[in-house]
Structure 1
Amino acid sequence: MHSNDAIAALLALGQETRLNAYRLLLMQGSKGLRVSEISKRLSVNISTLSRHLGQLERTGLLQSWRHEREIIYAVHDSGMQELINYLLENCCRESGEACERADPSQKT
């Protein structure tokens, strides 16, 4: 990931509607949700929501596909992982400490 891509992804998540949409879709997993359902759950009109979802998709955080007359959005798994990896790429390098990456599957 390049710094411009990371900046675009962080800017996209820095808006309340987009952050709420991303978090909602994160809970849904790979099956995603129809735009109409996202609109209903977030109480945002479809035309406004479509612009927000499009921006998240352009940054690589979401993916979409058409099912009949509806567009379905889901989290693009590697998008957020690439962003996190970019942010942690040089973690603790100057201090000489080992950097532990956050892994929610590992319990301490």
Structure 2
Amino acid sequence: MEKKSALSAFAALSQETRLDVFRLLIEAGDTGLVAGDIAETLDVKQNTLSANLSVLLNAGLVKNQREGRAIRYFADTNGLQGLLGFLLQDCCGGRPELCQPLIADLTCTDKDICA
């Protein structure tokens, strides 16, 4: 992940409602949640939620899928993995080999070869 993308992700998560939405979607896992359920769970108005979901989408932290008239949202694990990889890429006091196993686990997208 490039610095500009990381800054966008951090900015998106630096607002309380967006952080709550993202954490809720992480918890929901692969099933995700429709926008109405997110709004109800977090007690957020639909128009406020829509604006916040748009910021998270643009930051690459959530993705969506239309289901008839509803839109289902999911945490974008690739975006999260990229952000975590960005944070850890220079860790361990100049000894990246110490952190490399953690970075590889967090940023691996093919779970068949990562396990």
Normalised to the residue count of structure 1, the TM-score between the two structures is 0.88
Work out the CA distance in 2 between the residues paired with 1:62 and 1:73.
7
Partner of 2:110: none
Partner of 1:36: 36
List per-residue Cα deviations over 1:12-67 (Å, max 9, x = no partner): 00100000000011111111101000000000001110110111011111000110
Paired residue type of 2:12: A
Structure 2 regions of 5+ residues with no counterpart? 107-115
Task: Note the C-alpha offset of 1:93.
Answer: 4.4
Work out the CA distance in 2 between the residues paired with 1:96 and 1:89.
7
Identity between Structure 1 and Structure 2 (%): 38
Work out the CA distance in 1 between the residues paired with 2:62 and 2:33.
11
Question: Does the 8 A contact of 2:25 with 2:33 survive in 1?
Answer: yes
Task: Note the C-alpha offset of 1:96.
Answer: 7.3
Pairwise CA RMSD? 1.9
Number of positions where the alignment pairs a residue of Structure 1 with one of Structure 2: 104
Q: Which moved more, 1:12-21 or 1:92-101?
A: 92-101
Work out the CA distance in 1 between the residues paired with 2:16 and 2:96.
37
Structure 1 regions of 5+ residues with no counterpart? none
List per-residue Cα deviations over 1:85-106 (Å, max 9, x = no partner): 01101112436772262769xx
Q: Which has the higher helix share?
A: 2
Normalised to the residue count of structure 2, the TM-score between the two structures is 0.83
1:73 and 2:73 matched? yes
Work out the CA distance in 2 between the residues paired with 1:18 and 1:55.
8
**Shift in CA distance, 96/85, structure 1 to aligned 2, threshold 3 Å:** closer
Work out the CA distance in 2 between the residues paired with 1:40 and 1:80.
25
